[in-house]
Amino acid sequence: MFLAIKEMKHEKLRYGLIVALILLVSYLLIILTGLSTGLANLNKAAINEWGAKTIILDKDSQGRLAQSYLSAQTLQTTKGSKISQYNSLVTSTGDLKENAQIIALSKQSFIYRNLKATTGKKFTSKNTVLVADKFKKDGFKIGSKIKIANSNVELHIVGFTPRATLSVAPVIYTSFETIKPLNNGVVNAVVTSEKHQFQDAPSNGLVLSINQFINKLPGYSAQKLTFNFMIGFLYIIIFIVISIFLYILTTQKLPNFGVLKAQGVPTTYLVMNTLAQSFIMSVIGVFLAIIFGLLTSWFLPSEVPIVISTMNIVLTSVGIIIMSLLGSLIPIRQIAQVDPYKIIGG
C-alpha cells in the first residue's frame, strides 16, 4: 500500500486522469440508476401504498387493469377490496390541467384505511376526492373544483396524499358513486390484503401477485429492461477502461518492476500494489461521483423522476469497485513474467 500511494503521488496527472474517468462513468451510472428507480416508482408508487397481496382481474385482461371487467358472478365469489379505474384529463376552474388515473374504492376497504392524507382529509362523500401530491405542486388546492373531460362530473379536492402515481400519472381517489357516470359502475379488479390470503381463482378470473401485476403495467418491464441493459453495459465499460489504462501503465513500469525484483521485492507484493492502486482510484472516483450525484438530484427540477437511495448507492459503489479490481487483474501476468536479468540488460 505504501508503494502504491507513493507512486500515485509521484504520477499525479496519470492517476488523476484515471480517477476522473472513473468519476465520470460512476456519476453516469448513479444518475441512470436513480432515474431507473424514480421512473419505476412513478409506475407503481400507488400500488405499493395499497398494502396489497394479490389482485384478481378478468382472465382476458392480460393483466391490465384498464382492460379488466369483472362479472357479477366473479364479484360474488371473491372477497377483498373492489377497485374501479378510469383514466382521463381533469381541469380546474383556473385552467389547470392534469392527466390522471381515477381510482374508485369503498371507504370500508383496507386500501382506504392505508391511504394517508398529508394535507386535508380523505374523501367521504360523493364527488369529493383525495388526490396525489403532484396536484398541489401543479397549483391545485384544497377546495379546488376539477372537471373530468368529456363529462359533467365535477369533483372537489378535500385532501392530498403522498406517493400516489400509477403508470406515471397521478392518482385521484374517490367513491364508486362518483365514478359510476363515467364507467357505468364497472369493477375492474378485486384486491386482497396481506391478512386475507386468496386461495381459489374464480373460473373467469385471473389471480396475480402484486409483483406480477406491477410487471404487467404498460411499459414497466420494457423500461426496466432498457435501464438494466444500459447499467450493465456501463459496468462492462468500467472494466474495459480500467484494464486498458492499468495495462498501459504496467507496460511503462516494467523496467521499474525488474529493478524491484532484482532487489528482492516479491512478485506478490507488486501484484498487491497494482490491486491497491486500482482500489484507491475506484474508491476516490466513486466517492466523488456519489457527491455529484446527490447534488444533481437536489438541484434537478421535481419533474425529473430521480431517486438516489442508500441501497442504490451501496450496490453501485460495490459494483464499480469490483469491476475496477477485476480490471486490475489483467496486467498481473505481465508483472509475473518480468525477468530482472533481461530488464536490467544482462
Averaged pLDDT of the chain: 86
pLDDT value of position 334: 78
Instruction: Annotate 7-29 with three-state secondary structure.
Output: HHHHCHHHHHHHHHHHHHHHHHH
Distance CA 227, CA 43 (A): 15
Q: Which amino acid is at 327?
A: G
Q: Which stretches within the chain are classed as H helix?
A: 2-10, 12-50, 72-77, 110-114, 133-137, 176-183, 210-215, 220-252, 254-262, 267-299, 310-328, 332-337, 340-344
pLDDT above 70 for 194: no
| pTM listed for this prediction | 0.82
Burial class (CB in 10 A: 0-12, 13-18, 19+), 130: buried
* Per-residue pLDDT reduced to its tens digit, 244-285: 887 887 777 777 777 777 777 787 888 888 888 888 889 999
Distance CA 111, CA 164 (A): 12
pLDDT value of position 9: 74
* Per-residue pLDDT reduced to its tens digit, 314-328: 998 999 899 888 888
pLDDT above 60 for 199: no
pLDDT above 70 for 201: no
More confidently predicted of 6 and 295:
295
Nearest to 186 by CA among 108, 63, 87: 87
pLDDT value of position 72: 79
pLDDT above 70 for 195: no
Nearest to 212 by CA among 325, 56, 67, 317: 56
More confidently predicted of 247 and 38:
38
Burial class (CB in 10 A: 0-12, 13-18, 19+), 197: exposed
Q: How confident is the model at residue 122 (pLDDT cuts 50, 70, 90)?
A: very high
CB atoms within 10 A of CB 183: 16
